[in-house]
Chains A and B, each alone.
Chain A
Amino acid sequence: MIHDTQMDYYGTPLATCSSDRSVKIFGVCNGGQILIADLRGHEGPVWQVAWAHPMYGNILASCSYDRKVIIWREENGTWEKSHEHAGHDSSVNSVCWAPHDYGLILACGSSDGAISLLTYTGEGQWEVKKINNAHTIGCNAVSWAPAVVPGSLVDQPSGQKPNYIKKFASGGCDNLIKLWKEEEDGQWKEEQKLEAHSDWVQDVAWAPSIGLSTSTIASCSQDGRVFIWTCDDASGNTWSPKLLHKFSDVMWHVSWSITANILAVSGGDNKELQMQPQIDHLP
C-alpha cells in the first residue's frame, strides 16, 4: 500500500513509499512512467517521503514504522543511503524539509510524541535537535513555513546571511496544531496552539507564500474536517480558523498547489473517496 507520493521541486520525478518497505522513484513523462530507483533499507512500512531542494543535489528523506529516518542521495545516477537517523522511540510518521534558504534541515514527527530536527553540518554530519513531548500520543505531520525575512526592508549587510525566522507547524494525536519557532539561541519553542479539530490531526500544510501577504495553513483531521488557518497579523500571533468543509470520513491529506490558490484534499474509507480541489478565496 502506498502511503505517500511526492513530486520533486521540478515536478518530474515522483517518489512513492509503501508498506512493503520500499521507496520508489518514478520518472513521469508523457503519460508513461519509468521506475528509476527502488530504495530498500527500511525495516517497516515507509510512511512518508520528502524531496530536498535541488540546490543540495538529489536528496530524498523517508521515514518509517521501523523508527528510522533515512536520507537518500543520488550520486552519478545511483541512489544510495547517505544517512540514517534512529533517534525516535516509535514510528516516525512525517518528514519535511525546511525551505532551502535555511540550509538542509529536516523535521521529523514521530509517534513517540517528539519532533526531531536534523541539520546538515557538512561532511556527512547531521546535528540533531529534539523537541520532546511535542504532541502527546504522537505527532502525525510537520510542515515548514515558507522562508520569510523579517522586515526585508531593513538593509542587510551584504555577505551576511539574512536573519530568517524559522517556523513550522505540526499536527498530532492531541487534536492540536502547534506552531514552532526557533529562538535566537537555536532552541525551538512552541509559539502557538491551534485548536479546532475534535480528533487526531492527520496532515498540515503551510501554503507557499506566492504573492500573498497572509500566512495560511491547511489542516485535516480524523474528524473529517478541513480547516484553513490564516494569519494577517505581522507578529503572527492571531490565527483564525475557517472550516473549509466537513467530510463524512477521515481526511488524510491536504496539499497546496504552488500558487497557493488550490487545495487538494483526500480522504475516505473503503467505500468512499473525496477529492476536492477547491479554490480558496482569501480575504
Chain B
Amino acid sequence: MEKMSRVTTALGGSVLTGRTMHCHLDAPANAISVCRDAAQVVVAGRSIFKIYAIEEEQFVEKLNLRVGRKPSLNLSCADVVWHQMDENLLATAATNGVVVTWNLGRPSRNKQDQLFTEHKRTVNKVCFHPTEAHVLLSGSQDGFMKCFDLRRKDSVSTFSGQSESVRDVQFSIRDYFTFASTFENGNVQLWDIRRPDRCERMFTAHNGPVFCCDWHPEDRGWLATGGRDKMVKVWDMTTHRAKEMHCVQTIASVARVKWRPECRHHLATCSMMVDHNIYVWDVRRPFVPAAMFEEHRDVTTGIAWRHPHDPSFLLSGSKDSSLCQHLFRDASQPVERANPEGLCYGLFGDLAFAAKESLVAAESGRKPYTGDRRHPIFFKRKLDPAEPFAGLASSALSVFETEPGGGAMRWFVDTAERYALAGRPLAELCDHNAKVARELGRNQVAQTWTMLRTIYCSPGLLPTANLSHSMGKGGSCGLQLMNSFNLKDMAPGLGSETRLDRSKGDARSDTVLLDSSATLITNEDNEETEGSDVPADYLLGDVEGEDDELYLLDPEHTHPEEPECVLLQEAFPLRHEIVDTPPGPEHLQDKADSPHVSGSEADVASLAPVDSSFSLLSVSHALYDSRLPPDFFSVLVRDMLHFYAEQGDVQMAVSVLIVLGERVRKDIDEQTQEHWYTSYIDLLQRFRLWNVSNEVVKLSTSRAVSCLNQASTTLHVNCSHCKRPMSSRGWVCDRCHRCASMCAVCHHVVKGLFVWCQGCSHGGHLQHIMKWLEGSSHCPAGCGHLCEYS
C-alpha cells in the first residue's frame, strides 16, 4: 500500500497532453504496455518488439528490442508487460512457452535479461506484482500458472488450475497475496500466492472461455471478466460467493478489458474478431457503449490507458499494424445518440410515451398542459433499483389518454356507427345526424346538420308533402345508386362482361324510368306550381344533378307563405332547443374554432353557431324573399366541407357529401371527393368499422372508391366449348371462335345473369334454366347430364 501511493505521487505531477494519433508499425501487434512515466509504450507481436515514445504530435520509435540476425522464437511475443515501478523492467510471454524479462538498463544492444523456459505451451499472459518489484506471474496454455522471483533462475511456485488453458492472470491491486486467473472452460480462480496447492475460490463466470480479467483500480473487490460469450461481467469478490454486480453485453467476444482510471464505472473493451472497435462502457448501462473508438481497420489486440490516473488517453495496438492514441473527447458517443424517449400517437388519440424514469418522476409533479387528463396506466421497470444511477438506464412507459375512458377518438367511432347516411328523407337524415352529434357533445357539427336541413329541405312544403318529397329524393338517390351498383356487381360476375360501362348502365336504367313516366317529364316544369310531384321529382333527380337542385329550391319559392306556420312548428323548436341548452363545451369549442372560421371563411363565420339561429334564419328568409340563385348555398356548403376536412374531420365532409348527394357533388372537384372518401374509409378500417366502411364505399359516387368493394373478387371463366380460359373480355372465345356463354335454352348469348351447371358447364339465362328445370332435370343442352343446381 505504501509503495503504491508513492508511485502515485511520483506520477501525479505530470500533465498529459496530446491528440488522437496513430502510427504505422511494421507488423501486427499482439499486445501493448505503457511505461509508468506515461511517455513510452512497448508494442509486442509475433515479429515486432519495439518501444515508442509518445510525443505531443506523434509516436517516435525509440528502441527496437528485436535484435540479432536470426530472431529466435523467444521473441515472438503473445504478451508484454512493463513494470509499474521499474522503468527498465519488461517481461514478455513468448508463443513457444518462454517467459523473458528485459532490462532496458543493460548497456549492450541486447536487453534480454532472463529466460524462464518452464511452460510447455504458449504463455498467454504475464503480470508483474503491482508493488513487489521482483515478482512475476505467468499463465499458459498448458494450464499452469507460475510465479517467478526475478532474483532466482527458476519459478518459485507453480499453480495448477486443474482445468484447461489459462487465458489471463492478474494480481489484485489491493490484496498483496491475491491473484485471479481465468480459464478457457469459463472458470475464474482466485489464488493466494503463498498457497500453490489449491485455489482459494473458483466459480464459473462465463459460458465459454474467459479471455481476460481486470481488477478495479480502486474498488478492492471488483473484478471485471470478459468472455467469448460477448459479455463483460463485474464481480464483487469481497462477499463469500462471487456476486455478479454488472453484466455488459457487447456485440462480439471480449478479448481485453481495462478499467478506466478515475471513472468508477467505466471500462474499455476490445474484441477478438469481427468487431474492430474499442468500446468504453459504463457498467451501469450494459447495452450501449459510452464511447467508441473506430480508428482501427483490423482486430484490436491490445489496449492500455496511458496513465493510471488519467481517464482521457487510451492507447491501442492492432492487427492492422498500427498503434493508436485515442482521446476520449474524440470518441463517438453512441449513448448521446441513443434516443431516450419513445412516443407514439395512438389511434384513439392516446399517447404512448416511454422515457427515462427520472424524467417521468419529475414530470408527474409538473402541471400538465391545460385540458389534458393523464392516466399513466403503464408499468415501471428498473434494471437495478439499488443504484442511484438506475434512473438513467431504465425507462417508464406510460399511456396517456386525453380523456378518461374512451379516448379522444371515441366520438369518431360513435359518430360513424350512429350516423344515418341514406335510406331516409334528407330532412330526417339531417335531424338524426344532428341529434347524434349533439348527444356526443359536438354542437358545432349538430348545428351544421340543422343548417343543412334548413338549406336543402324546403320549408315551403306541407309536412306530408315535404316528407314524401324528400322521400322521393332519398329514394331516387338510393335507387339510382342501387341500379348502378346492381349492374356493376353483376358485371364481374359475368366475367365476359367485366367492363360494362357505368354510363351505359345508367343510361339504361334511365330509359326504363323514362318509359314509365315519360309524360310526367314533359309536363313537369308547369306542374311545379301545383306543388311537388313525387314521381316527377323522382325522375329529375335521376337525370340531372343541376335540375335536381333547381327543382329542390323551386318549391320553396313557389310556396313561401302558406307553410310558414308549419315551419315554425317544426323547425323553430328544434333550433331553440340548441340555443337554450348551450353547455359549457360548446362555448369552448366555439371559441377554439371560431378564429379559423373567421380567418378563412367569412361566410361561414356568419353562420357560426354563436348566433347562428338568428343569422341562419335571416339568411333563409333573405333567400326566400330575394330569390337568390340556387347555387348560392352550394358555395357555402363547399367551403364548409373543406373547412371540416382541413380540421381533420373528414368524417363530416364525407357524411355531408353522401347525405346531400347530387346537391353538392358537382361543386367539389372530384379528386378532392375521392381523397376524402379514401381517407375516411381508411380511417374507418383502422377503427375496424367494417360495416360502416362498406356502407360508405357503397354510397360513394366516386368511381375509384366504389371499385374498392369489387377489388378483391375475381372470377376466371373458361370457355364452355374448348374448356380453355377466356382471356379476352368479350363473349367470344379466342380459341374456338364461338360464343362462350350461350343460353342452352334460347341459344342466345347471355349478357346478364348467367347460371350454369357445374357438372357439364351448360347453362343460360336464369329464368330459362329455371323454367327448363321445372320440366326436366336433364341438361337443356342435350348432353345427357343430370344437372344439379343448388
User: Which residue numbers of A lie inside 8 Å of B, CB to CB?
Assistant: 1-7, 9-11, 14, 16-21, 28, 31-33, 43-45, 47-48, 65-66, 91, 93, 111, 138, 151-153, 156, 158, 202, 209-213, 252-262, 264-268, 270-273, 275-277, 281-282
Contact = CB atoms under 8 A, between A and B. Distances in A.
23 contacts: A1-B393, A2-B355, A3-B341, A7-B352, A9-B686, A14-B344, A19-B338, A19-B393, A20-B383, A45-B288, A65-B288, A210-B645, A210-B680, A211-B645, A211-B676, A213-B672, A253-B343, A255-B343, A255-B344, A259-B650, A266-B343, A266-B355, A276-B369
Given A211-B648, A252-B339, A252-B340, A268 B653 contact: no
Contacts of A152: 671, 674-675, 704
B677 to A, nearest CB: 10
B338 A268 contact: no
A2 B676 contact: no
A150 to B, nearest CB: 10
Interface in B667-696: 670-672, 674-676, 679-680, 682-683, 686-688
A281 B399 CA distance: 26
A16 B646 contact: no
Interface stretch (B16-24, B357-365, B505-513, B537-545): B357-365
Interface string B643-666: 011111110010000000000000
A275 B646 CA distance: 24
Contacts of A3: 338-342, 354
Contact of B648 (A14, A44, A252, A261): A261
Contacts of A211: 644-646, 648-650, 653, 675-676, 679-680
A259 B338 contact: no
Interface in B325-373: 334, 337-356, 358-360, 362-363, 366, 369, 372
Given A31-B377, A65-B288, A66-B251, A252 B230 contact: no
Given A3-B338, A10-B688, A32-B377, 16 more contacts: A3-B342, A3-B354, A4-B344, A7-B352, A11-B350, A14-B344, A18-B395, A19-B285, A28-B377, A211-B648, A259-B650, A262-B349, A266-B341, A268-B341, A270-B358, A282-B646
B409 to A, nearest CB: 8
A197 B674 CA distance: 36
Please classify the interface of chain A as helix (H, G, I), strand (E, B), loop, or mixed, using the class held by over half of its residues. loop
Given A2-B354, A266-B353, A257 B345 contact: yes
Contacts of B680: 210-211
B117 interface: no
A259 B648 CA distance: 5
A252 B377 contact: no
A45 B287 CA distance: 6
Across the A-B interface, give the 3 residue pairs with the lowest CB-CB distance, nearest first: A11-B347, A259-B648, A211-B645
Interface in B420-434: none
B443 to A, nearest CB: 18
A156 B351 CA distance: 39
B425 to A, nearest CB: 27
A125 B379 CA distance: 38
A255 B674 contact: no
Contact of B354 (A16, A209, A265): A16
A151 B394 CA distance: 49
B469 to A, nearest CB: 32
Contacts of A10: 347, 686-688
Given A5-B344, A7-B347, A33 B379 contact: yes
Contacts of B316: none
B290 to A, nearest CB: 12
A20 B377 contact: no
B378 interface: yes
Interface in B121-170: none
Contact of A158 (B358, B499, B596, B674): B499
